[in-house]
Amino acid sequence: MTADGAVPALAAEGVTLTYDREPVFESLSLAIGEGQVTTLVGANGSGKSTLLKAFGRLLAPRAGQVSLSGRRLSTMPTRQIARQLAILPQKPLTPPATTVRELVSRGRHPHQAWLRPWTGRDAAAVEAALEATGLAGLAERDASTLSGGQMQRAWIALVLAQETPLALLDEPTTFLDLAHQLEVLGLVRRVNQERGTTVLMVLHDLWLAGRFSDRLIVLAGGRVVADGTPWEVLTPATLREAFGLEAEVMPDPVTGTPLVVPAAGSGAGGPPRPGRL
């Protein structure tokens, strides 16, 4: 239960997650509110993706439970979950000889059955997803010929075609240049606003996370270090604790969201000096 008494879209209660007996999280509790874009951030190895996998039933908790709109995931048939919750993993595989439309069509999998193969509703969902991601013109292209940015939009289109009220995205912007990162996250934001889709994602870039999220959750050392709006969370103290990073936080001149600027001399950064390579 959240503070206002509503049932959260997704909740972890006393969850313990392990990889080969090594605990990543112990009795962690976290609730994800409906209709929000929530982003998990943290240093490499902080367990962001592990936690996302537990929310998406890709990793079964050793103890505790995850619930979807108040129902335990472990008691729900996987197909029924797939009609409520879509997952975009970090590295999905592109099948050979498959057009973009065919790829996106596979998002309809949980809605199909042997006695109900393919309907106008499925076709409409696929067309809407292609339209929303700007891929309508590329629908007949072989998916293996798409550029990195186009491919990522195609995967998001597949998630949209699934028509779920909830979407989990694991680092949807890896391997993309800055312009395409902005494009993909802008698309995620628009889907959240237009379709009301609840989004839980993992991002590396704190500036992008701050710009596109309603809520940030910072993970470090197997626990939640900070949780709140980007301005509440992205403070020099939190950045020092979670990332070991000395940084200043200032308003982004364009959007007014927090902008993390690492201090001089932190890490390997800093301007190159004359006479040194």
Partner 1 sequence: MVAAVLLAGAVGIGLGGLMVGSAPFTLQEVLGVLTGAGTPAQELVLLEFRAPRVVAGLAVGASLGLAGALTQTFARNPLATPDILGVTSGAALGAVAAICLGGGIYAVGVPLLALGLPATAAVGGLVTAALVYGLSWRHGIDSYRLILIGIGVTAALSGVTSYLIAQAKITDAQAAAQWLVGNLSGVSWASVWPVVAVLAVVAPVAAFQTRNLSAGQLGDELAVGLGVPLGRHRLIVIACAVLATAAAVSASGPVEFAAFVSPQIGLRLARSARPPLAASALVGAVLVAGADLLVRGVLPGERPVGIITAMVGAPYLIWLLTRRRGKGEEL
Tally of CB atoms within 10 A around 16? 16
270: which residues sit within 8 A by CB, 6+ positions away? 264
Measured from the CB atom, the residue of 116 and 240 that comes closer to partner 1 is: 116
Q: Return the residue of 42, 47, 107, 172 that touches partner 1, per CB under 8 A.
A: 107
Should residue 75 be labelled a site residue for partner 1 when binding is judged by CB under 8 A? no
17: which residues sit within 8 A by CB, 6+ positions away? 23, 24, 25, 28, 47, 50, 51, 54, 59, 61, 62
Should residue 93 be labelled a site residue for partner 1 when binding is judged by CB under 8 A? yes
First to last CA, the chain: 56
Q: Return the residue of 23, 64, 92, 262 that touches partner 1, per CB under 8 A.
A: 92
Minimum distance between the CB of residue 239 and partner 1, rounded to whole angstroms?
30
Measured from the CB atom, the residue of 93 and 179 that comes closer to partner 1 is: 93
Q: Return the residue of 87, 154, 208, 217 that touches partner 1, per CB under 8 A.
A: 87
Q: Which of residues 39-68 bind partner 1 (CB under 8 A)?
A: 53, 56-58
Q: CA quadruple 234, 239, 242, 245: dihedral positive or negative?
A: positive
Minimum distance between the CB of residue 97 and partner 1, rounded to whole angstroms?
5
Should residue 102 be labelled a site residue for partner 1 when binding is judged by CB under 8 A? yes
Helix (H, G, I), strand (E, B) or coil at 277: coil
Element (H, E) at 11: strand 10-19
Tokens 């969902």 correspond to 125
46: which residues sit within 8 A by CB, 6+ positions away? 219, 220, 221, 242
Measured from the CB atom, the residue of 4 and 20 that comes closer to partner 1 is: 20
Distance, in Å, from the CA atom of 184 to the CA atom of 193, rounded to the nearest integer, reads 14
Should residue 134 be labelled a site residue for partner 1 when binding is judged by CB under 8 A? no
Measured from the CB atom, the residue of 110 and 258 that comes closer to partner 1 is: 110
Q: Which stretch binds partner 1 (CB under 8 A): 37-45, 103-111, 128-136, 203-211?
A: 103-111
**Footprint of partner 1 on this chain (CB under 8 A)?**
53, 56-58, 77-83, 85-89, 91-93, 95-98, 102, 106-107, 109-110, 112, 114, 142, 144-145, 162, 168
